[in-house]
Amino acid sequence: EVVMTQSPATLSVSPGERATLSCRASQTVSNNLAWYQQKPGQAPRLLIYGASTRATGIPARFSGSGSGTEFTLTISSLQSEDFAVYYCQQYNVWPNFGGGTKVEIK
């Protein structure tokens, strides 16, 4: 099984600032990596797939990068609606998720 590790567990950021979230795979997943956003009481929402392609309707302030084992989600200028938990997910083999990064207001 591919183990997905996200860091940090919690990220404190002020509105308008940049947030950088990391995701590491225990073995290569090529670019078969997605990112999701989950707000309290809601289902997750797909943000990024193929490591760097934004899903339909996702604002340009969200960007993904990386390949192989190291991946990054960047939110260029945090808006109030972006404070949430973010999960990475590999799909190189059967799908599995990282433990999540909570982005909270500083």
Partner 1 sequence: QVQLVQSGAEVKKSGSSVRVSCKASGGAFSKWAISWLRQAPGQGLEWMGGIIPIFGTSNYAQKFQGRVTITADESTYTAYMDLARLTSEDTAMYYCANNYDGVFDTFETWGQGTMVTVSS
In the complex with partner 1, the residue whose CB is nearer, 16 or 43, is 43
Residues 6+ apart with CB under 8 A from 75: 18, 19, 21, 61, 62, 82, 103
Binding status of residue 2 toward partner 1 by CB under 8 A: no
In whole angstroms, give the CA distance from residue 101 to residue 99.
Answer: 7
DSSP state of 41: T
In whole angstroms, give the CA distance from residue 27 to residue 79.
Answer: 33
Q: Provide the mask over 56-95, with x wherever binding to partner 1 is found by CB under 8 A and - wherever it is not.
A: -------------------------------x-x-x--xx
Among 22, 28, 31, 55, binds partner 1 (CB under 8 A): 55
| Residues making contact with partner 1 (CB under 8 A) | 1, 32, 34, 36, 43-46, 49, 55, 87, 89, 91, 94-100
